Amino acid sequence: MVLSMENLVKRAKSGDKDALLKLIIDKKAEFYRLAYLYAGNREDAMDAISEMTVILYNKIYKLKDEDKFYCYAKTILVNACREILRKRKNIVLTDYQDYQETYDNDGKESLMDVFMIMKTLSEDQQEAIKLKYLLDMDYQTIAEICKVPVGTVKSRIFNGVRKIKEALGGDY
Amino acid sequence: MKSMEDQFKTKKEQLEAMEVPEELEDRLHTALKSRHRQNNFFIRHKIAAAILIFIFLFGINNFDVLAYYGNKIMGYDKVIYGSLKDLNELGEGQKIDKSYTFKDGSKAILDGAFLDDNKLVVMYRIKAESQDKAFDFNPAELNGFFWGMIGSGSGVYNEESGELAWILEFDSPNIFSRYITFSLTSKDGEEGKIKFRLDMSKAIKGTVKQKINKSIEADGVKYNFSTISATPLSTVIEGNIEAGSKLQMFTGGIENTSRNLVVELREGYEKDGKLITEEIESTGSGTSSKNEKVSFRYEFEGLKKDLKQLTLNFKRTEDIKTIDKEIKIDSKTKNVDVDLVKISSVEIENGNTVITFITDKETTFASGLMINGNEAKLISESSKYIDEGNSIKRASVYEGNGSDMKLIFKNVSRQRLVNQEFILYKAVN
């Protein structure tokens, strides 16, 4: 029997571990990419997802709107990543070293441009831009994850993108 | 040099191509294997022990009494509304007025609380050097005696005062949680705690608190309305469902279908000598199931003064069915039935794909189009009534077209009007 997301969330809220795991595993790639973006390596990314799973199990009964499960889960995941980074005393997002190695044959110089410029932006701007452009998140979801109003997210992205484009020498 | 967009696109593609480690699923199973829910366990099973421990540990302690009445709590004009706003204007809250200053100079000020039988509302402000810093704090958590939770609510930043004002709601704590710890965590991980005393005896008193003992049957399901607990702050109606053969609609999905019931609560009250009838705004609803018993709960705003009558209108049922079907389509597709939805036609116009659907007037659905393996962008949607208002024709325009096109249907929902009402409460003149 295939259960709807809403029913799975309802089951998870009542303490059904399998339902909760199914919800997470169904979107494991999304969770992994998000965690990797923050944590910067596979081990920490998997630790963060494990931590998220335990927190969800304990707190999901408080979730009022079943439709918001994934946004709720991602917010918890980002907090778990931040906690891991805090413990590493490294609160910046992943610096993409892993990725850049693989770009040697595909224009490393130009890639360095944008991501070197990114480092000159505030952490908040970097975070919003990465969530928007690399994970395709909408403004509302970014706002909930970053715990700021949608307007603030838009202005962070707008100002950050403007700085990048100015630095690249393009029109904006 | 590649443009910014192209560089991001390349990076995004690489992120998407990353494989999820195979061991992740095992790790998650292991993480949950020996876990037990932390909350509610003690409340449900250890209440007797809790009472004894409470008396032993805290019974003779005498904390400062911080609650007092009669003053409006200031600084929340942009975030407060509804019943809470009215009560605050009347100075009905418990004023707390305690603060915590973080190492970076940010300050949390816990101004006050409102309590009734249904919920606990706390009001606090964060003063920080910037709006962004103020929003860096997670929503507050409250902990009492074998009770604790993270609040839900909203915060609004006031540029004039440079403060972020939050109003958060929590479930009403158990009667032993007189001393509550308010916790707020900064982005740096510093946890600020404020202890305060909640004066249960001064909670906002109920206007209507009674058994209902009314049932209504609709669409094969019997809804038993058991209790109503209403105060000027909030209204909660609870009951259970006798679903018979449709039980799985509430516990796990019969044919992957779940049911929602939509109700409307109206109050009649006297104002300036006139009887006014108004709908009470809904603030939430939900069902929960345990051991094949299904309970429901509806939450509304609080009641007005001089209440004369409360009426519950059982408006309609909504059945949401998950179908998860993929249908291959091309420009020759005509009149294909997918559950309650008919794909009437598929046309290519100006390079875009226009799909026309027909359903009866009670049916809505969620769908998407895949073109050559990629999700197509929805450009526009329009709808109109046909067949003398008994059916709806919808047109969805997707960007592009292709040789391999699949329509993906996620769910179909159907509404049935009931419109039965009964009187929950009538004042005795």
Rounded average pLDDT over B398-413: 89
Look at A1 and B12 and tell me if their CB atoms are within 8 Å: no
Look at B40 and A24 and tell me if their CB atoms are within 8 Å: no
Say if CB A32 and CB A45 are below 8 A apart: yes
Question: How many beta-carbon contacts under 8 Å exist across A and B?
Answer: 151
**Which pLDDT score is estimated for A93?**
37
Instruction: Tell me the chain B residues in contact with residue A106 when contact means C-beta distances shorter than 8 Å.
Output: 10
Mutate which of B3, B18, B170, B171 to test chain A, going by most A C-beta atoms within 10 A?
Answer: B18
pLDDT at B281 over 90: no
**Which pLDDT score is estimated for B54?**
32
Instruction: Select the residue of A11, A133, A149 nearest B8 (Cβ to Cβ).
Output: A133
d(CA B157, CA B338): 48
Look at B288 and A124 and tell me if their CB atoms are within 8 Å: no
Per-residue model confidence as pLDDT tens digits over B296-340: 889 899 998 889 999 999 888 888 787 878 899 999 999 999 988
Cα-flanking dihedrals φ and ψ of residue A127, to 5°?
-60, -50
Look at A147 and B15 and tell me if their CB atoms are within 8 Å: no
Instruction: Tell me the chain B residues in contact with residue A50 when contact means C-beta distances shorter than 8 Å.
Output: 27-28, 31
Per-residue model confidence as pLDDT tens digits over B25-40: 888 888 887 665 543 3
Most confident of the ranges A79-88, A140-149, A161-170, B37-46:
A140-149
Look at A17 and B32 and tell me if their CB atoms are within 8 Å: yes
Share of chain B above pLDDT 90, in %: 29
Rounded average pLDDT over A157-167: 82
pLDDT at A64 over 80: no
Share of chain A above pLDDT 70, in %: 80
Q: How would you classify the pairing of strands B307-329 and B257-271?
A: antiparallel
Q: How many CB atoms lie within 10 A of CB B274?
A: 7
Per-residue model confidence as pLDDT tens digits over A95-138: 333 333 323 333 333 344 677 778 778 888 888 998 988 888 88
Instruction: Select the residue of B11, B284, B290 nearest A64 (Cβ to Cβ).
Output: B284
**Which pLDDT score is estimated for A111?**
41
Look at B3 and A25 and tell me if their CB atoms are within 8 Å: no
Look at A164 and B25 and tell me if their CB atoms are within 8 Å: no
Mean pLDDT, chain B, whole residue set: 82
**Which pLDDT score is estimated for B45?**
32
d(CA A28, CA A31): 5
Per-residue model confidence as pLDDT tens digits over A11-23: 887 777 888 999 9
Please tell me if residue A83 touches chain B, with a CB cutoff of 8 Å.
yes
Instruction: Tell me the chain A residues in contact with residue B39 when contact means C-beta distances shorter than 8 Å.
Output: 58-59, 61
Mutate which of A1, A10, A171 to test chain B, going by most B C-beta atoms within 10 A?
Answer: A10
d(CA B105, CA B192): 12
> What ipTM did this prediction achieve?
0.80
DSSP string across B154-222: EEEEETTTTEEEEEEEEEPPPTT--EEEEEEE-TTSPEEEEEEE--GGGSPPPSEEEEEEEEEEETTEE
DSSP string across B260-303: EEEEEEEEEEEETTEEEEEEPPEEEEEEEEETTEEEEEEEEE-P
pLDDT at A90 over 60: no
DSSP state of B327: E
Look at A32 and B20 and tell me if their CB atoms are within 8 Å: yes
Per-residue model confidence as pLDDT tens digits over B89-125: 888 889 999 999 999 999 999 999 999 999 999 999 9
Mutate which of A147, A163, A166 to test chain B, going by most B C-beta atoms within 10 A?
Answer: A147
**Which pLDDT score is estimated for A99?**
32
Least confident window among A110-114, B152-156, B181-185, B351-355: A110-114
pLDDT at B238 over 90: yes
- pTM attached to this predicted model: 0.54
Q: Is the dihedral of CA A26, A32, A33, A35 positive or negative?
A: positive
**Which pLDDT score is estimated for B99?**
96
Q: How many CB atoms lie within 10 A of CB A72?
A: 20
**Which pLDDT score is estimated for B41?**
31
Query: B384, B344, B381: which is closest to B361 by C-alpha?
Result: B384
Rounded average pLDDT over B210-234: 90
Instruction: Tell me the chain B residues in contact with residue A115 when contact means C-beta distances shorter than 8 Å.
Output: 7, 11
For residues B253 and A157, the model is more confident at A157
Instruction: Select the residue of A4, A115, A161 nearest B256 (Cβ to Cβ).
Output: A4
Q: In what order do the strands lie in the sheet with B147-150?
A: B147-150, B141-144, B179-185, B191-197
Mean pLDDT, chain A, whole residue set: 76
Instruction: Tell me the chain B residues in contact with residue A144 when contact means C-beta distances shorter than 8 Å.
Output: none
Least confident window among A107-111, B69-73, B233-237: A107-111
Give contacts of A 121-140 with B, CB under 8 A: 124, 133-136
For residues B7 and B348, the model is more confident at B348
d(CA B411, CA B370): 16
Instruction: Select the residue of B28, B39, B252 nearest A50 (Cβ to Cβ).
Output: B28
Rounded average pLDDT over B274-288: 83
**Which pLDDT score is estimated for B71?**
66
Mutate which of B11, B187, B190 to test chain A, going by most A C-beta atoms within 10 A?
Answer: B11
Which pair of structure tokens corresponds to residue B401? 């077209």
Distances (CA, A) of A61 to A11, B19, B210, B250, B288: 10, 31, 27, 16, 10
